[in-house]
């Protein structure tokens, strides 16, 4: 989000106005998003995370409440199997970097850190205070994508199994489901290494 002005003396922060509410608001209304919208959401957020990671920042608090829609999305019951139609999702922006840390501060190994973030979307290594990096953000992204795709939230402990179970062999959306499942791998080494690798997988998932 863009910050237009800061009045430190009076405690006033002037930010960009986004009229569409949050992804949480949208999911409350429609429950699930069509596959095309889930993919569009994933691409936008992966690019945002890529920019943050390149700037040396890990977000650590990916959740629907922190994804803001630039404009109001058209609302009607969306068919999650309709992968071919034009996506309805408007542009989104990633907000609330209050739990973010610089990657330079996370480079020391073996050091336990205070747990920050939202438990329901937190990567396993983040829960126990281990050093986190971009794969932890991809886990949080995967949790959001799973929820948008299937209309339900899973606990981090069973996220990988639930995501892999949802991959239907031979279905047109197996690639997207498999990408989400990889984001939710319990071991961070089994997730995507960086945003570029994840974007390539999302592009492949969108191929007919």
Q: Where are the domains of the chain?
A: 20-205
Q: pLDDT tens digits, residue range 58-99?
A: 998 999 999 999 887 665 445 555 545 555 678 898 988 777
Q: Which residue has the higher pLDDT, 99 or 8?
A: 99
**Per-residue pLDDT, 76:** 46
CB distance 145 to 201 below 8 Å = no
Residue range 182-207: average pLDDT?
Answer: 93
pLDDT at position 77: 44
**20-205 homologous superfamily:** Transferase(Phosphotransferase) domain 1 (1.10.510.10)
**Token pair for 27:** 């999911």
The DSSP annotation for the chain comes to --EEEEETTTTEEEE---TT-BHHHHHHHHSS--HHHHHHHHHHHHHHHHHHHHTTEE-----GGGEEESSPPP-S---TT--SSPP-PPPEEE---TT-EEGGGG--TT------S-GGG--HHHHTT----HHHHHHHHHHHHHHHHHS----GGGHHHHHHHH--TT-TTHHHHHHHHHHT-SSGGGS-SSHHHHHHHHHHHT--
Q: What is the pLDDT of residues 152-194, one digit of tens each?
A: 999 988 898 898 888 765 566 789 999 999 999 999 999 999 9
Q: What is the pLDDT of residue 178?
A: 93
Measure the CA–CA gap between 174 and 146, rounded to whole angstroms.
13
Which pLDDT band holds residue 117 (cuts at 50, 70, 90)?
Answer: confident
Cβ neighbours around 9 below 10 Å, total: 6
169-180 residue pLDDT tens: 556 678 999 999
Task: Say how far apart CA 140 and CA 64 lie, in whole Å.
Answer: 10
State the sign of the Cα–Cα–Cα–Cα dihedral 66, 204, 75, 156: negative
Looking from the CA of 194 toward its CB, the CA atoms found within 13 Å total: 9
Q: Which two tokens stand for residue 106?
A: 């996370």
- pLDDT at 110 exceeding the cut of 60: no
pLDDT at position 20 over 60? yes
Strand duo 101-102 + 57-58: pairing: antiparallel
Closest CA to 35 of 183, 160, 150: 150
pLDDT above 90 as % of the chain? 42
* pLDDT at residue 23, as a whole number: 93
Q: Where in the sequence numbering do the catalytic residues fall?
A: 61
Distance CA 61, CA 63 (A): 6
């Amino acid at each position: 989000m863009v910050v237009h002005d800061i009045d430190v003396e009076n405690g006033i922060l002037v930010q960009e106005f986004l009229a569409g509410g949050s992804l949480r608001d949208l999911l409350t209304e429609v429950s699930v998003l069509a596959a095309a919208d889930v993919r569009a959401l994933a691409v936008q957020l992966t690019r945002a995370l890529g920019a943050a990671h390149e700037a040396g920042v890990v977000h650590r608090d990916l959740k629907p409440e922190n994804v803001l829609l630039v404009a109001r999305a058209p609302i009607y019951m969306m068919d999650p199997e309709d992968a071919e139609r034009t996506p309805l999702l408007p542009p989104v922006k990633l907000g609330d970097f209050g739990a973010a840390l610089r990657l330079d501060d996370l480079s020391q190994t073996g050091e336990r850190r205070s747990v920050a973030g939202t438990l329901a979307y937190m990567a396993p290594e983040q829960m126990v205070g281990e050093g986190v990096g971009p794969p932890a953000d991809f886990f949080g992204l995967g949790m959001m994508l799973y929820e948008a795709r299937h209309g339900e939230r899973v606990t981090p402990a069973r996220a990988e199994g639930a995501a892999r179970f949802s991959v239907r062999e031979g279905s047109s959306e197996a690639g997207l489901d498999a990408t989400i499942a990889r984001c939710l791998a319990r071991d961070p080494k089994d997730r995507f290494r960086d945003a570029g690798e994840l974007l390539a997988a999302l592009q492949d998932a969108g191929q007919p």
